[in-house]
Amino acid sequence: MELAVLNLSGKGKKGKVEVSSRSFDTDYNGDLVHQAVTAYMAGSRQGTKAQKNRSAVSGGGRKPFRQKGTGRARAGTTRGPIWRGGGVTFAAQPRDHIKKLNKKMYQSALRSVLSELVRQDRIVIVKEFVLKSHKTKELASQLSNLNVNDVLIVTTEVTENITLASRNLRKVDVCKPFNLDLISLIKPEKVLITLDALKLIEERLG
């Protein structure tokens, strides 16, 4: 299949580029995409929360009072869950939230999302994306020419100018093709991809 390549000026098309139908024209698999996004988000969780149970709380080794004759309920430690300063019942422990997802499944989810973005006309292809200065104004002007505002820029050359110019724009993100993930693709209104980055994405997806 073919995708249009736009001029950075936004005036007309620069040509067309042939892309793999396997990567950019597959059926959308919502269940697989949901599974992949869930696994990705779960993997980003720290999972470091922790509370102390009765065995982890310091102290409490001595029996607080004798077993019989006081009229009180028997107790063997002051660190039980019903005591002030005691441990927590069913205390939370650090855990790994990672969900296993095969590489082929994740790649298939990426193909599914990219294909859906093409169908929704949310992918913009340009030959290259170069900034002459680090001024945010220049980047904003180029994006305005392409009629994009909320955008992910995928390029092989993430220069210092692009990094500095984009950090002041809240709805503009920049990444390299091998750092591309589902969340970054789904979140913005448009995805701007350079030709070099497009080739690397196709290589990555096979």
DSSP string, 101-160: --HHHHHHHHHHHHHHHHHTT-EEEES----SSS-HHHHHHHHHHTT-SSEEEE-S---H
Beta-carbon neighbour count of residue 45 at 10 Å?
12
Residue 166 per-residue DSSP state: H
Contact assessment for residue 78 and residue 59, using Cβ atoms and an 8 Å cutoff: yes
- Mean pLDDT in residue range 28-32: 95
The residue ranges of every structural domain in the chain are 2-46+100-205, 50-93
Question: What does pLDDT average to over the chain?
Answer: 92
Element (H, E) at 37: helix 30-43
Percent of the chain residues past pLDDT 70, beyond the cut: 98
Contact assessment for residue 77 and residue 63, using Cβ atoms and an 8 Å cutoff: yes
Asked if the model's pLDDT at residue 25 lies above 80, the reply is: yes
130 confidence band (pLDDT: 50, 70, 90): confident
Beta-carbon neighbour count of residue 151 at 10 Å?
21
Per-residue pLDDT, 10: 63
| Residues contacting 39, CB < 8 A, separation 6+ | 98, 99, 100, 101, 106
Percent of the chain residues past pLDDT 90, beyond the cut: 74
Per-residue pLDDT, 104: 94
Per-residue pLDDT, 6: 87
Per-residue pLDDT, 11: 66
Q: Which two tokens stand for residue 84?
A: 């002030």
**CATH architecture for segment(s) 2-46+100-205:** 3-Layer(aba) Sandwich (3.40)
Tokens 């193909």, located at residue: 111
Residue pLDDT, tens place only, 146-171: 889 899 999 998 889 999 999 999 99
**CA-to-CA dists, residue 13 to 9, 96, 120, angstroms:** 10, 49, 18
Residue pLDDT, tens place only, 77-115: 999 999 999 999 999 999 999 999 999 999 999 999 999
